[in-house]
Amino acid sequence: MHELSVSSAVLESVLRHAAGRQVSGVKLRVGHLRQVVPDSLDFYWGIVTRETVCEGSVLEQESVPGRLACTPCGREWEIDMPIFRCPTCGGSEVAVAAGDELEVESIEVEEEPACTA
Amino acid sequence: MHRVKVRVVEDALDANNTIARANRDDFDRAGVYVVNLMSAPGAGKTTLLERVLGPLEGVRAAVLEGDVQGSLDADRLASLHVPVVQLNTGNGFGGECHLDANMVRSALPSLPLEDIDLLIIENVGNLVCPAEFRVGEDTRIMVSSVAEGEDKPLKYPLMFRACELVVINKLDLLPHVDFDMDKYMHHLDSVHPDVERLQVSARTGEGVDAVREWLQRAAAREGAVA
């Protein structure tokens, strides 16, 4: 439901790195804990990129599973439901080891061949 | 033309976070404690502020009111004799559903930062997007009303994990709604273990003193630092 906001933020980042060059592809790492619906993000990507150098570009989303780590007992586990308690010791001092990414990993841009003369 | 891959590795919210830090620096320099107040639409943020801000002794407060459109909330708060600045998000894609750091930055010149101790930023009512966008606040408070149901922490973990205080509002409705407080607390503790929580009815005033004291303590800490 926040995919429009997320796609706008991604676009802003990509436009900065594209520096005016035409963009054909964007690789994005999306953590499970960000609650992003891939199809919805894809849909909004098509809308927010209109009339920008990203228009028509392919948004490739790599989904990163959520992993929590218990600070006191050291257990690390994958989560599906948002339960932030250690299943081993019941402790609440847990850190997110993975799954909160919203990271533009790379972009593919069109460039003039460098002059070799 | 040929295609070139450019490595970026950047959090998509970096640009927003950079502006949020600049806002925070400005707030800190002025010694202003800033609260980002978030909730679903209709959870009672404005009513709570009406109750809390009137008799907030010893703390000079102001409100930055974020709405997609109009100034209904700002008009309500104007009678409290605290400065209220309206920020409309309506010129986005049909109106942005949240405040971001840049919108708040644009409102800074209208805020009397040197004359206040506490700034409440009342975010646009939405349980999802505001959790993603920091605006330069010291703390985030969310209002969660019993009318919304006890399952909300599990459905909106981003929001419930983003805040430091959960104000559970509309206690006066408890006899009329199917809301199991024990279950709600269990869900809340699963999603954000041990997060501070206060139970209130902004309508009747029950429990509101505790929210006021929470804000007074927080603002006093900022004053001690500044």
Using the Cβ of A40 and the Cβ atoms of chain B, whether some distance falls under 8 Å is answered with no
pLDDT of B75 reads: 83
pLDDT of A113 reads: 77
- Tell how strand B165-169 and strand B139-145 pair up: parallel
pLDDT tens string B36-83 = 999 999 999 999 999 999 878 889 999 999 887 788 888 888 888 899
φ, ψ for residue A30, nearest 5 deg: -120, 115
Nearest chain A residue to B129 by CA distance is: A2
Using the Cβ of A105 and the Cβ atoms of chain B, whether some distance falls under 8 Å is answered with yes
pLDDT of B71 reads: 82
What is the number of other CB atoms lying within 10 angstroms of the CB of residue B83? 18
Could you read off the pLDDT tens digit of each residue along chain B, which spans 226 residues? 899 999 999 999 999 999 999 999 999 999 999 999 999 999 999 999 999 998 788 899 999 998 877 888 888 888 888 999 998 877 655 567 889 999 999 999 999 999 999 999 999 999 988 999 999 999 999 999 999 999 999 999 999 999 999 999 999 999 999 999 999 999 999 999 999 999 999 999 999 999 999 999 998 887 665 5
pLDDT of B202 reads: 97
d(CA A5, nearest CA chain B) in Å: 7
pLDDT of B118 reads: 96
Q: How far apart are CA B213 and CA B166, in angstroms?
A: 14
Nearest chain A residue to B12 by CA distance is: A10
pLDDT of B92 reads: 53
pLDDT of A1 reads: 64
SS3 state at B94: coil
> Quick one: three-class SS letters along A21-43?
CCEEEEEEEEEHHHCCCHHHHHH
Of A4, A106, A110, the CB nearest to B93: A4
SS3 state at B42: coil
User: Nearest-CA neighbor of A81 among B186, B40, B194?
Assistant: B186
Q: How far apart are CA B72 and CA B163, in angstroms?
A: 26
Q: DSSP per residue over B134-164, as a string?
A: --S-SEEEEEEEGGG-TTHHHH-HHHHHH-S
Q: Are B168 and B191 in contact (CB under 8 A)?
A: no
Beta strands in chain B (DSSP E): 2-11, 33-39, 61-67, 84-88, 118-122, 139-145, 165-169, 196-199
Of B12, B129, B194, the CB nearest to A2: B129
User: Nearest-CA neighbor of B147 among B167, B181, B173, B185?
Assistant: B173
Indicate which of B3, B68, B135 best probes the interface with A, i.e. most A CBs within 10 Å of its own CB: B3
Low pLDDT (below 50) residues in chain A: none
pLDDT of B91 reads: 61
Using the Cβ of B113 and the Cβ atoms of chain A, whether some distance falls under 8 Å is answered with no
User: Nearest-CA neighbor of A79 among A28, A29, A30, A31?
Assistant: A31
Q: How far apart are CA B27 and CA B226, in angstroms?
A: 10
pLDDT tens string A54-68 = 999 999 999 999 999
Q: Which residues of chain B are within 8 Å of residue A14 when distances are taken between CB atoms?
A: 8
Of B6, B129, B192, the CB nearest to A106: B6
